[in-house]
C-alpha cells in the first residue's frame, strides 16, 4: 500500500518536472521564465512534503499493526508452551486469517497508557495543570462567595455553608445509598447463586453428542434470566426515585453483570457441548470438566475485564499505596465534576423558561456547554477507565491493564471507537461482531459492524434514560447516526488534520449533549405534566412546556 502511494506521488513529481504543468504561448521574458520556474519548484516542494507525510503516517500505521500481530503471536506461543514451534504457529495463524477466522482476545501483562506517559515529565506537567485548575476552581468558589455574599450581608466571615462548599449537589446525587447497596448485593447474589449452579448442573448432567430439546430449554431459561435482570433493577430505580448518580451506579453495575454472565456462558457452552464424559484424551481443553471451577467464575465477576478466560496474567504483589492514590484520584475527579456543574451548568439552566428554547439562546447554550462537557468527558475517562480500573486491577493482581489506548491521537472515528474504551470494545468484538461475522459470513461485515453500533448506542441510551428519568435519544442519534457516518467519512484519515476534525466533532457533540439533557432535566422540574406517564417519559417536556402556566 505504501509502495503504491509512493509510486503515485513520484509520478506526480515527474509530471511537474517534465512539463511544468504550465503551457507557454509565444516567447516568454526572462522574468516570466523565473516566475514559472519558482512556481514549478514550489509545486515540487509541496508534492515532496505531501509524499513524505503520507509515507511516514502509512508506514507508522503498518509497523504498529505488524508489531501488535508479532506480540500477540509471541504471547500465544508462550501461553501454549510452543516456544520451539515458532514457524509452525506463525503459518497456522496466517492460515486462519486467510480462512476467515478472526483473532481472539489475548490478555497479557501490560500497564495502562497514562501510567507510562505520566512517567514523562512533560506529560506529568499536564497532569499538574489539571490539578492546579481544580485548586483554582476551589479558590474561585471560596473568594467569589465570600465577596458576593459578604457585600450583601455586610459580614465577611468564613463558613462552609456561606461559601457554597456544603456539597449539597453531591449528597443529593448519591442519595438513598443504603438502597443502592442493598440492590447491589441482591444482583451479585443472583449471579453467584443462580447462574453458576444452574450452568454447572446443565453442563455436568447433559448427555454428550448433538444438541437436544433440553439444551434449548436451558438456553431459553438463561435468556429469561437476562431479560429479568435488565427489567427488575430498573423497576426498583423508578419506584424508589433514585437520584442520577445512584441510578448510574445501579444501571452500570447491572449492565456489567449482564455482559459478564453472557461472556461466561458464551465461552463455556461450546466447551460443554464438546466435552465427552470419561474420555480424558478428548478433553484436553476442559481440564476442569465441562464447567470451570467456581473460583474462576468468582474472580471473573470482579476482574476489570468483560471477556471470560479460565486464567489471566497476574502480578506478584499488591501495591496498596498505588491503590489508595488511584481511589484518591477518583474522589478528586468527583469534586472536579461538582465544581463544573455548580459553576457552569446549574446557573445557566436552573431557571428554565421560554428563552432557553429559542434558536439564539439554544445555540449560545450549546457553545457555552462545549468546554464543561468536554471537561466532564476527560474527567469520566480518567476517573473510571484509568483510576478506578487500575485500583481494582492492583487489588486483584490483574496484569493486563490496557483499558484504553491513545484515543486522543486518532485520525479516524473507527480508531477512536476501538481505543476509547478497550474493555467494552473487547466484549462487543468478541460476542457481537465475531458472532454476526461467523453467522452471516465475511460478505456482511458491515452488518456485523452495524449491530455493534446499534447495541452500543442502545446501552448508552439505556443508562442515560434510566438515570435521568426520561427518554431523550439525543445520544442515540449522535452515536448511531452521526458517529456511525463519521467512520466512513474519516476512513482514510492518514493526515493529522483529521485529528483536529475529530476533536472539533467531540467538542460540538459534548456541548449538544450537555445542553439538551440539562434543558430537559430542568424543564421536567419546572414545567407541569400534560401527558400520561408513559408518553411523558418519552416526549421531551422542553418541547411541549406550557410557559404561561409557569408564570401564572
Interatomic CA distance for residues 100 and 475, integer angstroms: 34
Catalytic member of 356, 386, 425, 460 = 460
Sign for the CA dihedral angle at 339, 340, 341, 343 comes to positive
Interatomic CA distance for residues 202 and 179, integer angstroms: 34
Interatomic CA distance for residues 388 and 381, integer angstroms: 10
Query: Does residue 460 carry a catalytic annotation?
Result: yes
Interatomic CA distance for residues 228 and 232, integer angstroms: 6
CB 460 within 8 A of CB 240: no
126-134 contacts, C-beta under 8 A, 24 or more apart: 130/378, 131/332, 134/332, 134/335, 134/336, 134/339
Q: Give how far Cα 403 sits from Cα of 68, 399, 459, Å.
A: 16, 11, 19
Torsion of CA 253, 257, 260, 266, to 10 degrees: -150
CB 80 within 8 A of CB 111: no
Q: At what angle do helices 445-468 and 497-526 cross, to 10 degrees?
A: 40
What are the catalytic residues? 460
Amino acid at each position: 500500500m505504501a509502495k503504491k502511494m509512493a509510486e503515485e506521488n513520484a509520478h506526480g513529481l515527474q509530471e511537474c518536472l517534465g512539463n511544468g504543468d504550465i503551457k507557454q504561448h509565444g516567447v516568454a521574458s526572462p522574468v516570466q521564465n523565473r516566475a514559472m520556474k519558482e512556481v514549478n519548484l514550489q509545486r515540487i516542494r509541496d508534492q515532496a512534503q505531501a509524499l513524505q507525510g503520507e509515507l511516514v503516517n502509512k508506514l507508522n500505521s503498518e509497523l504498529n499493526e505488524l508489531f501488535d500481530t508479532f506480540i500477540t503471536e509471541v504471547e500465544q506461543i508462550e501461553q501454549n508452551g510452543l516456544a520451539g514451534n515458532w514457524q509452525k504457529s506463525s503459518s497456522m495463524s496466517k492460515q486462519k486469517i486467510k480462512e476467515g477466522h478472526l483473532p481472539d482476545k489475548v490478555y497479557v501483562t501490560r500497564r495502562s497508557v497514562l501510567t507510562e506517559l505520566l512517567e514523562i515529565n512533560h506529560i506529568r506537567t499536564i497532569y499538574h495543570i489539571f490539578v492546579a485548575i481544580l485548586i483554582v476552581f476551589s479558590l474561585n468558589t471560596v473568594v467569589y462567595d465570600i465577596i458576593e455574599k459578604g457585600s450583601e450581608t455586610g459580614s465577611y466571615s468564613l463558613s462552609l455553608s456561606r461559601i457554597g462548599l456544603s456539597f449539597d449537589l453531591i449528597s443529593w446525587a448519591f442519595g438513598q445509598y443504603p438502597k443502592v447497596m442493598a440492590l447491589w448485593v441482591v444482583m451479585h447474589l443472583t449471579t453467584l447463586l443462580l447462574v453458576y449452579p444452574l450452568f454447572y448442573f446443565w453442563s455436568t448432567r447433559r448427555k454428550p453428542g448433538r444438541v437436544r430439546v433440553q439444551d434449548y430449554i436451558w438456553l431459553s431459561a438463561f435468556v429469561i434470566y437476562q431479560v429479568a435482570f435488565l427489567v427488575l433493577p430498573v423497576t426498583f430505580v423508578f419506584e424508589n426515585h433514585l437520584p442520577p448518580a445512584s441510578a448510574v451506579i445501579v444501571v452500570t453495575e447491572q449492565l456489567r453483570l449482564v455482559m459478564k454472565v453472557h461472556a461466561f456462558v458464551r465461552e463455556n457452552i461450546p466447551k460443554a457441548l464438546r466435552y465427552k464424559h470419561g474420555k480424558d484424551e478428548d478433553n484436553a481443553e476442559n481440564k476442569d470438566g465441562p464447567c470451570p471451577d467456581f473460583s474462576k467464575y468468582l474472580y471473573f465477576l470482579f476482574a476489570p475485564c468483560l471477556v471470560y478466560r479460565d486464567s489471566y496474567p497476574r502480578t506478584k504483589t499488591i501495591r496498596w499505596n498505588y491503590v489508595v492514590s488511584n481511589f484518591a484520584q477518583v474522589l478528586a475527579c468527583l469534586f472536579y465534576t461538582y465544581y463544573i456543574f455548580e459553576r457552569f451548568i446549574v446557573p445557566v439552566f436552573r431557571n428554565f423558561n421560554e428563552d432557553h428554547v429559542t434558536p439564539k439562546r439554544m445555540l449560545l447554550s450549546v457553545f457555552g456547554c462545549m468546554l464543561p462537557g468536554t471537561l466532564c468527558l476527560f474527567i469520566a475517562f480518567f476517573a473510571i477507565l484509568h483510576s478506578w480500573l487500575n485500583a481494582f486491577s492492583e487489588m486483584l493482581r490483574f496484569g493486563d491493564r490496557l483499558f484504553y489506548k491513545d484515543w486522543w491521537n486518532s485520525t479516524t472515528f473507527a480508531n477512536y471507537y476501538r481505543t476509547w474504551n478497550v474493555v467494552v470494545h473487547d466484549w462487543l468484538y468478541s460476542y457481537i461482531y465475531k458472532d454476526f461475522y461467523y453467522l452471516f459470513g465475511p460478505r456482511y461485515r458491515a452488518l456485523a459492524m452495524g449491530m455493534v453500533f446499534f447495541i452500543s448506542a442502545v446501552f448508552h441510551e439505556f443508562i442515560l434514560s434510566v438515570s435521568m428519568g426520561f427518554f431523550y435519544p439525543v445520544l442515540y442519534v449522535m452515536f448511531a447516526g452521526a458517529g456511525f457516518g463519521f467512520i466512513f467519512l474519516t476512513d482514510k484519515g492518514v493526515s493529522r488534520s483529521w485529528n483536529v476534525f475529530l476533536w472539533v466533532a467531540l467538542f460540538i457533540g459534548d456541548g449538544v449533549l450537555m445542553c439538551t439533557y440539562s434543558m430537559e432535566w430542568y424543564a421536567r422540574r419546572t414545567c407541569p405534566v400534560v401527558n400520561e406517564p408513559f408518553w411523558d417519559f418519552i416526549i421531551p417536556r422542553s418541547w411541549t412546556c406550557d410557559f404561561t402556566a409557569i408564570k401564572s
